[in-house]
Chain A
């Protein structure tokens, strides 16, 4: 028996919005420590890793480890049926091939439940090693989304160059070139608006804008985004989900063609 209850359906909605562009279907691995999801997109260029800790739920029960393969499109459809303030409960039997998602309005006047068929997905699970990143940049999520959107007009790839001074996003294409530099913010008044850089050594990496734009779909989840970079290692874009966990996107760097 698996049962997980969240106070607000809106979180779940946002989470799904954040992943459904990249993934068509994914397996939710439920254990007593929480729900985890890891999946690569079709092209295997990016990877989504979602962690929802059990203690973040209003109620969480998972007697046996359970893998629920879901069509995320269908799941999103179901979640559209929920009001933002509704309680949402996911339920599944141990060997069931369906999951039940129940929405209860705040005053319990309206209860709707939806049953969705589960899928048996044969997906590769990647072992992600712990990495000491050369650069870790924290910046407002909105800012990052904006940068990605803007730069994607110029080129399909963006170069992220991180130095002690700050982080520079640049793109160059037929139209011309674009550079956006962010310096570390001195004042720590508003934490959510600060830009912080932890750097061991400077890094320059090239990434596909398309994926970065897909990642920024998670912007509503968090005020801050954390970019972790290391030479020849995928970029990690992490959005924290308050009190619940985090969603991490991994993006493989492009093969650089500076010398050609």
Chain B
């Protein structure tokens, strides 16, 4: 349908529009001819259109017959126009209220014509009522008159169309101006609409005012007009460049675009595509949604600086693409935090990095840092300037290691002298790009300047602030939820009682919700000698004063639960466990050759929560940063847990010895635990679950998931 419409429009506008023009300028006679022309055009278009859409083929015959009818209608119209010419005032007054049958039959023919040809309709209205600039313009046509005089032909058409539309009130998005080209049913509907509107002159004002709004909301359907206007005003900054997508997928500009998204509701990832009319329209829509005027200057800022960095980023893009296809979902390289101010750090880095990852078997994995870099891929990494290290998420796991580093032996197991210089920083989980898409509301007051678009910056205070904000948000949401829950609970009681009597309920709803509860318990504990609980609001008959079965018999919750209920419960349990940092039934033990490990001291059932992998939740860019630091320290161990959740790459860094047990669980390819991501307060948590029933005394292990050759080289135990 839509396709067809688009195609048909230009032709129509030439045909119908010119017809309308002729009508406007000429008299009734020329109107007729113009109508005929338009009808002819319509026929042609109909053919075209129906041919184009295979679904319509079946209607073609019908349409053809209708066309015949139309032509006959034209004849009728001629006559009618003559009639009108004779007594136009009478017709007018007749039609204002009541619509006598006779005139209705007359108007009907007109309307038939309308439905057949909107352009011609305009002409008729003009012709019949032009000679009369009477003040009491009550019918549609007359009310239409001044407007149509002012507006151009095209506009006129649209106005008429919109009128049809308004009366119709269905949400069909067809542009009314060429409705005569559309299928039969719609036409019929429109005549109806018209007939409805014509006797109700009061509505007219509404229609007029609605018209603009309607056009806005339907701007996609009216794209011809709006886009036409858009192309005309090329000085409008929006329309110069299609700056639009809401696509927040893993394009390299992700982080920045998200930011922009938040502040303006429009993203900026489609520079490559040529400016198209469609995009412009879409843009228009968005602007109107945003409330127009205010936003207007903002996109300018965005739109201007964007294209430039985009060029620079292009090479990265390639690198990333490669990277993503090549590496698995949990690869650390899929970082997405790019900033506009990126200095284009070594395009080669990304490409080089792309080549190296291997798919691990598990969906998540702990990446084991390899202190020695044997592969000659550091070429790009070396070029990265410290200032730019955050600019891209190119996996720089070890890239920055200078080549002069001599190969080292495997790190021996010693206490974690690990924690490097900046412990403080490590302990601070930074709320950055990865988390922001999950926040319900954009941080207020962000401005589209480059500095602000930079998602990660070194200023810790700033980060803290942001974090606070985020947490506040979360808390707020939580509080709201809780409140809602409470409310629901409270409501339940009156509802339960509602069965007793309607009056009762009314009485219950008014006082504090605690009251009904009290009443209930009172009722339950009441003995025979008790008197009425509530003397006042219990006037209703049947159940009045009766106790409930539930006072006597306990509600037996079915032991059987539905699958979803079981799962929900399980998830709730997990959440609970994470929140209270449960780690019962576990014991740290030293293993020969392995160092510390964790042993179960009680029985764990399958799928049971065992322990959470506690650490700092950090972004990938941060992770790469840290990894580089850890790589310098041979005692750091493998505690960087990369995982992917909802298309977002995360890392939990547990390098710092916090005394939590999750980080101490050893690797085994045939482990008895598995990991699962649980989202609590919009933060993903990694929990370790029992893969099978675990007997007391068993060591807990799980698959770290790192299968890369290099890691194996440095951590041979990964093979087991």
Question: A residues near B, CB below 8 A?
Answer: 40, 42-47, 124-129, 156-157, 208, 210, 231-234, 250, 252-257, 259-260
Contacts and interface: CB of A to CB of B under 8 A. Distances in A.
Given A126-B554, A234-B549, A44 B542 contact: no
Contacts of B210: none
Contacts of A253: 546-547
19 contacts: A43-B543, A43-B546, A44-B548, A44-B549, A45-B547, A46-B549, A47-B553, A125-B555, A125-B556, A127-B553, A129-B553, A232-B527, A233-B552, A250-B552, A253-B546, A255-B545, A256-B528, A257-B531, A260-B531
Contact of B547 (A40, A231, A252, A257): A252
Given A250-B553, A255-B545, 11 more contacts: A44-B550, A45-B548, A124-B556, A127-B555, A208-B543, A208-B546, A233-B552, A250-B549, A253-B546, A254-B546, A256-B530
Nearest to B535: A260
Contacts of B554: 126-127
A254 B500 CA distance: 12
B526 A255 contact: yes
A255 B525 CA distance: 11
Nearest to B541: A156
B521 to A, nearest CB: 14
Contacts of B550: 40, 44, 124, 126
Contacts of A231: 528
Contacts of B547: 45, 252-255
A209 to B, nearest CB: 9
Interface in B543-582: 543, 545-558
Nearest to B532: A257
Given A124-B555, A250-B549, A252-B548, A45 B531 contact: no
B512 interface: no
Nearest to B501: A43
User: Is chain A's interface secondary structure helix, strand, loop, or mixed overall?
Assistant: loop
Contacts of A255: 523, 526, 530, 532-533, 545-547
A42 B557 CA distance: 18
A27 to B, nearest CB: 10
A232 B528 contact: yes
A257 to B, nearest CB: 6
Count class of interface residues, chain B? 20 to 34
B542 A156 contact: yes
Contacts of B543: 43, 45, 208
Contact of B529 (A40, A127, A250, A259): A259
B549 A47 contact: yes
Most chain B CB inside 10 Å of its own CB: which residue of A40, A129, A250:
A40
Interface in B496-515: 496, 499-500
Contacts of A125: 555-558
A68 B523 CA distance: 34
B564 to A, nearest CB: 12
Contact of A252 (B499, B546, B557): B546
A247 B554 CA distance: 20
B5 to A, nearest CB: 42
B499 A43 contact: yes
A170 B532 CA distance: 21
A250 B547 CA distance: 12
Contacts of A234: 549, 552-553
A250 B548 CA distance: 10
A128 B526 CA distance: 20
Nearest 7 pairs between A and B by C-beta? A43-B499, A127-B556, A126-B553, A252-B547, A44-B548, A124-B555, A210-B542
Given A44-B496, A127-B556, A252 B551 contact: yes
B694 to A, nearest CB: 32
A244 B500 CA distance: 34
A42 B532 CA distance: 22
Contact of A259 (B499, B531, B545): B531
Nearest to B557: A125
A72 to B, nearest CB: 18
Contacts of B526: 255
Given A44-B550, A47-B549, A208-B543, A126 B555 contact: yes
* Of listed B527, B529, B532, B547, residue having the most chain A CB within 10 A: B547
Contacts of B548: 43-45, 252
Interface in B462-491: none
B528 A40 contact: no
B551 A254 contact: no
A255 to B, nearest CB: 5
